[in-house]
Amino acid sequence: MTSALLSITVATYTAVALATSPEVRSAEDAWKAADSALKGQAAAMLLPTLAFTYTEYPYGHSPLDSYRWKRGDYALRHGQAVTVANWNLFNSFEDVQKTRNAVAARRAAASALKAARQDRAYAAISAFYDLNSKKQLYAVAEQNLSDQKKQFDQSRDLYEHGMKSLADLLKSETDWLSSQLRLASANAERRKALADFNILVDRSPGAEAELDVDLQPGATGLPLLDADLARALEIRPEVVRARDQLARAEVDAQRAIKGLLPDVKVDASWTRTRYADFPGAGSSIPNPNRQVGLTVSLPLGFNGFTQGWALAAARADLRRARTAVDAAERAVRADIYGAHVALERVLTSYAIAVRKEEIAARALELVGRQFQQGAADAIRMNQAQADLLNARVERTLALHDIFINRAQYRRAVGDPLW
């Protein structure tokens, strides 16, 4: 997006807001890090390792040449090269548990990324419709100022012809001045909404934007709450992330239990040594040598108490993770019910506001004719104009709230907003 006037839809604006969001970029990097960590752990679990060592003693007593004194004796044939290939076949399920932990970490990062996108997309949708509503309210305030000016001009003309009192003239002028204040306030609100709109996509705060908005309210039926609640408990990022953290806590508890037990490792290795070219260099060990080794040992740093307290801490973290899942599910239920109630309220409010505007427009038309004929005073005229102004404001706000509340409900369910 540039700073020039633009005609932009809510979908395009949301896409740009996501592309420029530092929160989304940070979450994407966290997911990439978790994905790479999982791939690295999977490779460590499944693939053999290769090590190469070259040793030479160009100065001093050389162990490779029966500890003879060397002084600046450099040559590849005077060094020893060792190549070792090793493949761990079993290590008390340590690699399996690490991999499970990495899988849960990647899922948690994916859920955090989805949550960041949902949050920024909802912020973009809200900013888009808020700006459009503030623009329309500014237009309503402009129309009200024009109407109040006409009323003041009529009052002055009627007063000059003796058909209105000075009180009516002063009342009309006061209402006209009030409409000017209302317009100034509406303009300030519009500029504030414009700044919020621009900042989300890294534009100059004061740059104007032309919005392409389809304000058809669409279907007025409410979504099925029970079905959406069941789906939300499966796909909401917060719940998924809490369950992944629970899975990681379960793995940590299993590893803590394993910390009380002896370690069992099975390794297959292959070693080949190229000995230095000195008389007597070499070994009676087969070259290359191959073996499968079995090792049973106590865990490193075993004293019983350390491992016992580690198990107690892991179990406490496991209980905390289970509680976090319950809290996340409870929050999702509250979000969905709250969003459903808000959507129902705004749909009802919009229908009422449309009818209220129709009635207020008709009433103003009748009072306006009476005012011109001198049968209605400025107070009745002002009240009719205020009723129409309020009805227009309520309809404008309710219409935009429909789109925002629908996005809020989709966010509560967990459906993507982008």
- pLDDT, tens digit, 9 for 90 and up, residues 374-406: 777 878 888 888 888 889 889 888 988 899 999
HEC string for 347-411: HHHHHHHHHHHHHHHHHHHHHHHHHHCCCCCHHHHHHHHHHHHHHHHHHHHHHHHHHHHHHHHHH
Element (H, E) at 51: strand 49-55
pLDDT value, residue 216: 78
CA distance 117 to 122: 8
What pLDDT score does 249 carry? 92
pLDDT at 263: 86
The dihedral region occupied by 301, where left means phi > 0, alpha psi between -120 and 50, and beta the remainder, is left
Beta bridge partners of 296: 264
Where b means 16+ CB within 10 Å and e means fewer, 197-234 reads: bbebbebeeebebebebeeeeeeeeebebeebbeebbe
Q: What is the percentage of the chain residues whose pLDDT exceeds 90?
A: 46
What is the per-residue pLDDT for 71?
83
> Are the CB atoms for 370 and 304 separated by under 8 Å?
no
Give the pLDDT confidence score for residue 214 in this predicted structure: 81
User: Which pLDDT does position 218 carry in this prediction?
Assistant: 66
Nearest to 3 by CA among 192, 198, 187: 198
Name the stretches of the chain with pLDDT < 70. 1-6, 218-221
CB-CB neighbours of 189 under 10 Å: 18
In this prediction, residue 13 carries a pLDDT of 94
